[in-house]
């Protein structure tokens, strides 16, 4: 049986460079950084005290005061991104067979902020002061659950958790559900807000974060020789996936076609990628073949590109091994150079960037690329956006634990 074609009809973004897809995209193509010194708590004692936080977001513009108080920030971001995506798609779930609408939205960490706050209350005032909303603010599935409640989607509703590969896995598995006839519509993506004292401290202890505290906007520098770690970010990226038949029946505007999905495991190490890049290579190869394409059909790669020594070197190696001589002819850029690393939400906003690249035939830059690394020798679109025809884009997300997930999106043709 031939799989159903899957199209994207709506997108929603909450990011450190702007809330809303257009604001996000315009910032990216201008090379604007959303990295700044942490201001919502005193981070001066930490090795890293910079992050990509969302500064143009007012909870009361989207929720009443009670819901804003009782709903964790990452959940709010997921709801806001989903609402934007549904509005762009001009889709009201309650006007369709709601059992044919699914929600797959994950998070890498959930509300570690809530865990930290409530534990503080317990230590200071005892168990009687723990909030009755603590569990529902903290657990990862609540972003998907809240979107389901808000929209009325009664089909499958769940959260995938694969660290930094989360959003790509959520979107890819949503694609599979439509292909296999299990849903007509899937609201899919990721949401994250984990820059708390404990969250920051944990990543500092791993020696994973940049210490370039004196120049926040220069801290995230993927593929640059002098990169020294990633920068934590927050936000959400959600897309509306529909079967082509369903989207056509309701005369929806199609933004792009989601054509391929690959996912693998390194089976190597809890934080380090496979030294030969085999998991990332197989994930990309699987996605391209799933799309029925060849490596030479790929117009652009949105890299995982974290700004860590190991990831950038090994992801570049994997690209070169898979694409061969063609690798150096493909523009490769990292959204994280401007947004920082949104962990479980990263793949959602990065897929949105790919779709916008297809729409506008522009590839956003990798900013802060100043000193080439001999081991990272691809075309990283340094510092300035580039006009280039983008018919097919590939987006990588590679997570702690050895998770690899790749999506291939292409220009829609009837």
Q: Are 244 and 412 in contact (CB under 8 A)?
A: no
The DSSP letter of residue 45 is T
Core vs surface per residue 83-92: b (16+ CB within 10 A) or e = bbbbebbebe
The pLDDT score that the predictor gives to residue 356 is: 98
- Can you tell me the mean pLDDT for 383-401? 98
Return the closest-CA partner of residue 211 out of 190, 229, 197, 194: 229
Query: Would you say the CATH fold of 259-409 matches that of 6-249?
Result: yes
**pLDDT higher than threshold 70 for residue 2:** no
Calpha distance 147→373 (Å, rounded): 43
Structure-token pair, residue 267: 């089976």
Query: Which residues are bridge partners to 235 per DSSP?
Result: 192
pLDDT per position as a tens digit, 260-291: 999 999 999 999 999 999 999 999 999 999 99
Three-state secondary structure call for residue 21? helix
Structure-token pair, residue 408: 């291939």
pLDDT per position as a tens digit, 71-86: 999 999 999 999 999 9
How many CA atoms, within 13 angstroms, populate the side-chain half-sphere of residue 123?
Answer: 6
| % of the chain beyond a pLDDT of 70 | 100
Phi, psi of 273 (to 5 degrees): -70, 160
Q: Are 236 and 12 in contact (CB under 8 A)?
A: yes
The pLDDT score that the predictor gives to residue 1 is: 52
With cut-offs at 50, 70 and 90, classify the pLDDT of residue 192.
Answer: very high
The DSSP letter of residue 327 is G
Which whole-number Å values give the CA distances from 119 to 111, 128, 183, 273, 411, in the listed order?
13, 12, 40, 33, 49
pLDDT per position as a tens digit, 350-378: 999 999 999 999 999 999 999 999 999 99
Query: Which residues are bridge partners to 37 per DSSP?
Result: 50
289-294 long-range contacts, CB within 8 A, separation 24+? 289/260, 289/262, 290/259, 290/260, 290/261, 290/262, 290/408, 291/259, 291/260, 291/392, 291/408, 291/410, 292/259, 292/260, 293/259, 293/260, 293/392, 293/408, 293/410
Question: Any idea where the domains of the chain sit in the sequence?
Answer: 6-249, 259-409
pLDDT per position as a tens digit, 4-19: 999 999 999 999 999 9
- For the chain, the residue count is 414
Calpha distance 257→77 (Å, rounded): 25
The pLDDT score that the predictor gives to residue 3 is: 82
**pLDDT higher than threshold 80 for residue 390:** yes
Structure-token pair, residue 26: 């315009």
- Kindly report the pTM of this predicted structure: 0.97
pLDDT per position as a tens digit, 314-356: 999 999 999 999 999 999 999 999 999 999 999 999 999 999 9
pLDDT per position as a tens digit, 28-73: 999 999 999 999 999 999 999 999 999 999 999 999 999 999 999 9
- Can you tell me the mean pLDDT for 223-235? 98
Return the closest-CA partner of residue 116 out of 131, 103, 106: 131
Query: Which residues are bridge partners to 256 per DSSP?
Result: 8
Class of the CATH domain delimited by 259-409: alpha beta
**pLDDT higher than threshold 90 for residue 160:** yes
- Can you tell me the mean pLDDT for 401-409? 98
Q: Which helix (H) or strand (E) holds 66?
A: helix 65-70
To the nearest whole number, what is the mean pLDDT of the chain?
Answer: 97
Write the CATH number of the domain with boundaries 6-249: 3.40.47.10
The DSSP letter of residue 3 is P
Q: Which residues are catalytic?
A: 164, 304, 341
Calpha distance 379→192 (Å, rounded): 30
- Can you tell me the mean pLDDT for 252-257? 98
Q: Where are the beta strands (DSSP E) in 266-391?
A: 300-302, 332-333, 362-363, 386-387
With cut-offs at 50, 70 and 90, classify the pLDDT of residue 312.
Answer: very high
Question: Which ranges of 324-365 would DSSP assign to H, the alpha helix?
Answer: 336-339, 346-360
């Amino acid at each position: 049986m031939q799989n159903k074609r899957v199209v994207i009809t709506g997108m929603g973004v909450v990011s450190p460079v702007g809330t809303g897809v257009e604001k996000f995209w315009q910032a990216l193509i201008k090379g604007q950084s959303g990295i700044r010194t942490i201001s919502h708590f005193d981070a001066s004692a930490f090795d890293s005290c910079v992050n990509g936080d969302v500064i143009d977001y007012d909870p009361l513009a989207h929720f009443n005061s009670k819901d804003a108080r009782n709903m964790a920030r990452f959940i709010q971001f997921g709801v806001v991104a989903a609402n934007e995506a549904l509005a762009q798609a001009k889709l009201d779930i309650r006007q369709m067979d709601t059992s044919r609408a699914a929600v797959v939205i994950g998070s890498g960490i959930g509300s570690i902020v809530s865990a930290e706050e409530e534990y503080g209350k317990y230590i200071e005032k005892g168990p009687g002061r723990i909030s009755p909303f603590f569990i529902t603010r903290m657990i990862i599935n609540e972003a998907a659950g809240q979107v389901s409640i808000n929209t009325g989607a009664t089909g499958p509703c769940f959260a995938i958790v694969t660290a930094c590969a989360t959003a790509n896995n959520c979107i890819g598995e949503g694609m599979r559900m439509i292909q296999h006839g299990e849903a007509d519509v899937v609201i899919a993506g990721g949401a994250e807000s984990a820059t708390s004292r404990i969250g920051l401290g944990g990543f500092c202890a791993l020696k994973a974060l940049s210490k370039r505290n004196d120049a926040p906007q220069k801290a995230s520098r993927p593929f640059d020789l002098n990169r020294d770690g990633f920068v934590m970010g927050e936000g959400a990226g959600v897309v509306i996936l529909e079967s082509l038949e369903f989207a056509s029946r309701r005369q929806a505007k199609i933004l792009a076609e989601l054509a391929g999905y690959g996912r693998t495991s390194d089976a190597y190490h809890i934080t380090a990628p496979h030294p030969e890049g085999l998991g990332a290579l197989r994930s990309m190869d699987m996605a391209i073949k799933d799309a029925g394409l060849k490596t030479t059909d790929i117009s652009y790669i949105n890299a995982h590109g974290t700004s860590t020594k190991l990831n950038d070197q090994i992801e570049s190696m994997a690209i070169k091994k898979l694409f061969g001589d063609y690798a150096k002819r493909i523009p490769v850029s990292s959204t994280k150079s401007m947004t920082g690393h949104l962990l479980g939400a990263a793949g959602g906003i990065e897929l949105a960037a790919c779709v916008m690249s297809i729409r506008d035939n522009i590839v956003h830059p990798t900013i802060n690329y100043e000193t080439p690394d001999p081991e990272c020798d691809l075309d990283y679109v340094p510092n300035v956006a580039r006009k280039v025809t983008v018919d097919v884009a590939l987006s990588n997300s590679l997570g702690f634990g050895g998770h690899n997930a790749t999506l291939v999106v292409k220009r829609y043709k009837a």
